[in-house]
């Protein structure tokens, strides 16, 4: 029996081994319609027992984003270039303090009945039932110019919450900082302090010439105001399909106040997806 097939049949042992090694599950909130895209979170596995899988709460931009009881998730066990998919539900919200390795709290997920092997990355940037979020990326030429662009984004987000008229999408390019040529990547996963982007070979050359980038991401719930932020390239590697995985660290050093706004945008997106599951 091949190693991959053996892991499919013995997924519980694979999960336990990941837990012992400090590994993570990749999860996304299950969507019932075609609106928006999927953000995949890497959540460290804290515990695997008959009562469920305990994972740390997702987080982004300095904020913990607890998952609520009943939220349906798509989860992936990732080992090397192989991945296995299963569906699960949040069964318990765990407050900070119960687990030493989960300072921001954790969530208990229901154990699956079975797992299914799937391709690690499809050519259309689907991951099993998920569609990875596209993200616009620009080399950032002058970091000082991000302040005005971020402030414009903050005002647009505030207006969208109150129901006021926001800037049209065609005006977004006018609110850019001083940047180089744009290219499109896809968000492979997101964590508390950064994100992993998948970059096509024709655009990968820009990664070797720049360290700071300006990112613009459409929220996963399909909201009208994009999420924008500065990011620093930390590391890269090439996957089996010759695409470049770029590890980015979010950088708010030029405008620290923007971190709070971006965190609110991400949390609002998550809560909207949770609410749609109950409608």
Q: Higher pLDDT residue, 6 or 161?
A: 161
pLDDT of 193 > 90? The answer is no
pLDDT of 21 > 60? The answer is yes
pLDDT of 241 > 80? The answer is no
pLDDT of 173 > 70? The answer is no
Is domain 133-278 annotated with CATH 2.40.10? yes
Position 146 scores a pLDDT of 94
> What is the mean pLDDT of the segment spanning 113-129?
59
H helix count then E strand count, the chain:
4, 17
For residue 182, list its beta bridge partners. none
> What is the mean pLDDT of the segment spanning 139-167?
85
> What is the mean pLDDT of the segment spanning 179-184?
95
> What is the mean pLDDT of the segment spanning 205-226?
87
- CA 146/CA 5 separation, integer angstroms: 49
Q: Phi and psi for 225 in degrees, rounded to 5? A: -95, 125
- CA 236/CA 35 separation, integer angstroms: 31
Give me the CATH code for the 3-120 domain, please.
2.30.110.70
Mean pLDDT rounded to a whole number for the chain = 84
> What is the mean pLDDT of the segment spanning 210-221?
88
pLDDT of 63 > 90? The answer is no
> What is the mean pLDDT of the segment spanning 69-90?
89
Task: Tally Cβ neighbours within 10 Å of residue 75.
Answer: 21
Position 167 scores a pLDDT of 46
Q: Which pTM value belongs to this model? A: 0.80
Position 161 scores a pLDDT of 82
Measured in whole angstroms, how far is the alpha carbon of residue 216 from the centre of its chain? Answer: 13
Position 136 scores a pLDDT of 95
Q: What percent of the chain has pLDDT over 70?
A: 85
Split at pLDDT 50, 70, 90, the class of 127 is very low
CB 79 within 8 A of CB 19: no
For the chain, what are the domain ranges?
3-120, 133-278
CA atoms within a 13 Å half-sphere pointing along the CA-CB vector of 227: 27
Q: Is 199 exposed, middle or buried (0-12, 13-18, 19+ CB in 10 A)?
A: buried
């Amino acid at each position: 029996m091949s190693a991959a097939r053996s892991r499919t049949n013995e997924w519980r042992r694979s999960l336990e081994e990941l837990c012992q090694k400090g590994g993570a599950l990749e999860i996304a909130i299950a969507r019932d319609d075609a609106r928006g895209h999927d953000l995949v979170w890497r959540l460290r596995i804290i515990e695997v027992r008959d009562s469920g899988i305990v994972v740390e709460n997702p987080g982004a931009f300095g904020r913990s984003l607890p998952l609520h009881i009943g939220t349906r998730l798509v989860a992936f066990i990732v080992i090397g270039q192989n991945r296995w998919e299963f569906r699960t539900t949040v069964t318990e919200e765990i407050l900070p303090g119960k687990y030493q390795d989960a300072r921001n709290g954790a969530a208990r997920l229901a154990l699956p009945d079975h797992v299914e092997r799937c391709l690690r990355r499809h050519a259309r940037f689907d991951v099993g039932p998920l569609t990875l979020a596209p993200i616009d990326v620009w080399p950032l030429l002058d970091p000082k110019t991000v302040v005005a662009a971020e402030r414009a984004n903050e005002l647009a987000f505030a207006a969208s919450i109150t129901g006021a008229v926001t800037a049209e999408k065609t005006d977004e390019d006018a609110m850019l900082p001083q940047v180089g040529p744009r290219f499109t990547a896809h968000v492979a996963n997101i964590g508390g302090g950064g994100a992993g982007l998948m970059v096509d070979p024709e655009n990968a050359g820009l990664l070797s010439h720049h360290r700071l980038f300006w990112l613009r991401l459409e929220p996963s719930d399909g909201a009208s105001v994009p999420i924008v932020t500065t990011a620093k390239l930390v590391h890269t590697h090439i996957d089996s399909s010759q695409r470049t995985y770029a590890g980015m660290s979010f950088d708010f050093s030029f405008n620290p106040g923007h971190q709070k706004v971006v965190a609110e945008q991400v949390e609002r997106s998550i809560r909207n997806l949770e609410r749609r599951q109950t409608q």
